[in-house]
Each structure stands twice: as structure tokens, then as C-alpha cells.
Amino acid sequence: MTRARTETIERLGMTVTKEKTSILHLGIDLGTSRSSVSASNGERHVVESFVGWPVDMVARKIVKKPVVFGHEALEARPMLDLHRPLERGLIKEGSEKDELAVRELLRHLISLTNPDGGQKVFAVIGVPAEAMRVSRQHLRNAVKGVADSLMIVSEPFAVAYGMDALLHTMIIDIGAGTTDFCVMNGRYPTDDDQRTLTNAGDSVDEQLMTLLRSKIPEAQFSIHMVRAWKEQWSFVGEPKRKVEVTVPVNGKPTTVDITTEIRRACESVLPPIIETMLDLISRVEPEYQEAVRHNIILAGGGSQIPNLAATLEAALAEIGGGRVKAVDDPVFAGSNGSLAIAADAPESDWEKLAG
């Protein structure tokens, strides 16, 4: 029998009970842009999915770390060999450094949860449905030596499990690299219940970059600036305010109105998302289609785009109407769901990993 002890800690004004056992269960949402971890000891952390190594002696002297993660790595990128190792939800093929970056990112996420010495780590990792099919072995290799047991699940399934939305529900998880769909029918989802699109946050960034270069070709801006503008100002439908940003134009800070470009870039993902949503609904058993239409949940960073839920509900009107709502906690919905799976999973569902 597993021996356990508990302790009470104060964090952010809340009393949290931590159970210490011989196994630390982790739920990890491994994202193209951000990765989050939720642990059975009460720890929760989110890190931007960037990993960097100092490029030379000078950089090592300034950075003072052998490897840098997240926002810190992004800020120090001129000094680093910087990697964003997940591309469209997959570990980049053919790049040993990107595989190493994923391994280091997972190691970092696990270290943030402060496992006790001697604890075994059982990790459920949520990935896009497509990654489960084509990148499973890469993930196994990345986790070896970092965790003792592994389970890989699709990100939208993890969200559904964490919300107990397991019957007659559709999850649409809009991340940076992919938009993932999952219809829950009261059992593990099959391949037919899931879809992955590459129309997601990164494609919005690329579209916005193209539109802005066309509008202000003499301006200087980076993809990181464009991504920050999108995350702050994204919307679909009629604008409620003017969106203005300041960029260098021939070295001079210049205010530019990018309202139209933000709208066009964000709305570029709507047609494929709506088409896939309607197609998956049409494949549900006919007597359950109405229930699914009225129980659609948006997750991921893209779920917070203003007016998105209302726009998808308008698209449902042509097939009888429906209801779309966004998760309350888009940062940790996936990792919390993965942790819930870890807590409930029987021993037979876990893959044991050699060191």
C-alpha cells in the first residue's frame, strides 16, 4: 500500500493540501506556443515553449545558465541558439536539437513541480490528435529518463475529461500550431471522432505579418511583435475599438492603424473551423446531434478571441442552432484534464519507460 502524508501550505492567500506519495502524477499540455503542467502535489506552472542555449562565452557570462526557457529565452534571443521545437503541434522532424529542446522543456516543467526525492513521475501528456498518430515515438524518446511512466492523449480529450464533458460534447481546442476537434460519445474518442487543422494561432500570425508588410512595407517589425499584437487585440466581427500600434518606420516610431488587418487575419481561420465543426456534427448519430450542437466548448488560447463563440453560434443557426462557450481557464484546462486522467487511469493504461 502506498504510504502518504499531507501538508498544508499557503499560496496566493489560499490553503492548499498537498499529498505526498511515492508517485507524483502530472498532467502536461505540450503546446506549440505555451506548455503547462498541473501536479498532484498542487503545483501548476505555464512556460512559453521556447528553449535556448547561449551561443558563446560572452552569452554564457551574461545569461549565467546553461539553458534558458520561456519568456526569459525569448527576451535573450540575440544571445541564444533559440528553438521553438514544436511545429504545428509536432516535434520538428529531423532536428536533433529540437528533440533535445522538447526533452529539456519537459524536464524543466517537471522540475517546477518540485517532486520529492525518490518519487516516481507518472505523466499524462496532451498533444494534438495528429501528433498521436505521427509523433508518438518522438515523444517517448523525449520523455525517457524524465518520467517513469507515460500516457499520451489528445489535447481536446484531456479538456473534456477535466470538465467531465464526456457525453454528447464537442471540444474545439484552438492553439498556436493546431486547432483540434473532439466529439465525446461517452468513451475514448476514436480517430473518426477527432480532427486536426493547421489553421490556428500561428497561421493568424503569418497572415497578419503578410497583411502588414503589404500595408507598411517600410516599417520594421518581427514575428514576435506581430504575435504580441494579435494576443492583445484579436477579434472577429465588427470592431469595438480602433487598434493602433507603434512601429519604427525608417527608424522613426510611427503609429499605425491595424484594425482591418487584425480582423482579416483572425477571421482567416473561421471558414475551415466552421466547416469542420459542421461536418463532425453531421457524422454524429442523428438522435444525438442536437445535444452536441448545444454543448460545444472552446479551449486553448484562441478560445478567448472576442466574438468567436457568437460567430460559431451564428454558423450553427443554419442547422438548427446551438450553444458555444469558452473554458474559464484556457491556460490550464488541458493540463488539469490530463492530471484528472492520470489520477483515474488504471495501471494497464500506462507505458513504462526505461531510463
Q: Comparing 16-20, 58-62, 278-282, which segment has the lowest mean pLDDT?
A: 16-20
Between 13 and 265, name the one with better pLDDT. 265
From residue 175, give the alpha-carbon distance in Å to each of 35, 147, 188, 301, 344.
11, 25, 22, 6, 26
Every domain of the chain and the residues it spans:
50-83, 201-267
Residue 98: per-residue pLDDT: 85
Mean pLDDT (the chain, rounded) = 89
Proportion of the chain above pLDDT 70, given as a percent: 90
Neighbours of 232 (CB within 10 A): 10
Nearest alpha-carbon partner for 146 in 287, 354, 337, 340? 354
Q: What is the mean pLDDT of residues 224-229?
A: 95
Q: What is the pLDDT of residues 70-99, one digit of tens each?
A: 999 999 999 999 999 887 666 766 667 888
Quick one: pLDDT band at residue 133, thresholds 50, 70, 90? low
Contact 151, 124 (CB under 8 A): yes
Supply the CATH classification number for the domain 201-267. 3.30.420.40
Give, in degrees to the nearest 5, the angle at Cα 299 between 294 and 305. 95
Residue 17 has pLDDT above 50, yes or no: no
Between 129 and 327, name the one with better pLDDT. 327
- For residue 64, the one-letter residue type is K
Residue 89: per-residue pLDDT: 63
Residue 43 has pLDDT above 70, yes or no: yes
Predicted TM-score of the model (pTM) = 0.89
Contact 140, 113 (CB under 8 A): no
Q: Comparing 6-15, 32-41, 173-182, 261-270, which segment has the lowest mean pLDDT?
A: 6-15
Q: Comparing 63-67, 95-99, 111-115, 165-169, which segment has the lowest mean pLDDT?
A: 95-99
